[in-house]
Amino acid sequence: MRVISIANQKGGCGKTTTSINLAAALATNKRKVLLIDLDPQAHATSGLNINSDLSIYNVLSKIVHKKCRLEEIIRNIDVNFDIAPSSLILSTLEQELSGEIGRESRLSDILAGFKANYDYIIIDCPPNLGILTVNAIRSSREIIIPVEASRFSMEGLSQITSVIELVRDRLNHDVDFRVLVTNFDSRLQHSFKMLDKIKSSYKNRMFSNIIHVNVKLKEAQNEGLHVFGYDKYCRGAKDYFSLSREIIIQETVPPETESNPEVEKLEKRMNQILKETLPKIKEITLSLNAPEAKEVYLAGEFNGWKLDENSRMEKTNGLWSKSINLDSGKYRYRFVIDGNWSEDPGNPLKQVNPYGTMDSLLEVKK
Ligand X SMILES: Nc1ncnc2c1ncn2[C@@H]1O[C@H](COP(=O)(O)OP(=O)(O)OP(=O)(O)O)[C@@H](O)[C@H]1O
Per CB under 6 A, the segment of 10-18, 53-61, 112-120, 202-210 that binds ligand X is: 10-18
Tell me: does residue 17 bind ligand X (CB under 6 A): yes
Residue 130 site contact among ligand X, Mg ion, none (CB < 5 to 8 Å, cut-off depends on kind): none
- Nearer CB in complex with ligand X: 215/349: 215
Binders of ligand X: how many residues, by CB under 6 A?
20
**Residue numbers 235-294 binding ligand X by CB under 6 A:** none
Tell me: does residue 221 bind Mg ion (CB under 5 A): no
Per CB under 6 A, the segment of 12-20, 64-72, 91-99, 315-323 that binds ligand X is: 12-20
d(Cα 211, Cα 66) in Å, to the nearest integer? Answer: 40
**Residue numbers 167-226 binding ligand X by CB under 6 A:** 182-183, 211, 213-215, 217-218, 221
Q: What SS3 class is residue 247?
A: helix
Nearest 5 degrees, angle CA 116-CA 143-CA 341? 120
Q: Which of 152, 178, 149 is nearest to 4 (CA)?
A: 178
Neighbour-count burial for 14-41, b at 16+ CB within 10 Å, e otherwise: bbbbbbbbbbbbbbbbebbbbbbbbbbb
d(Cα 123, Cα 15) in Å, to the nearest integer? Answer: 9
CB of 196 to Mg ion, least distance (A): 27
Binding mask 41-80 for Mg ion (x = CB under 5 A): --x-------------------------------------
DSSP string over 39-69: -TT-HHHHHTT---S--HHHHH-SS-SS---
Binding mask 237-256 for Mg ion (x = CB under 5 A): --------------------
Residue 50 site contact among ligand X, Mg ion, none (CB < 5 to 8 Å, cut-off depends on kind): none
- Nearer CB in complex with ligand X: 83/362: 83
Strand bridging mode 296-300 / 176-182: unpaired
With left for phi above 0 and alpha for psi between -120 and 50, is residue 146 left, alpha or beta?
beta
For the chain, helix (H) and strand (E) counts, in that order, are 13, 15
Binding mask 75-114 for ligand X (x = CB under 6 A): ----------------------------------------
Q: Which residues are 180's β-sheet partners? A: 146
Residues that bind Mg ion (CB under 5 A): 15-16, 43
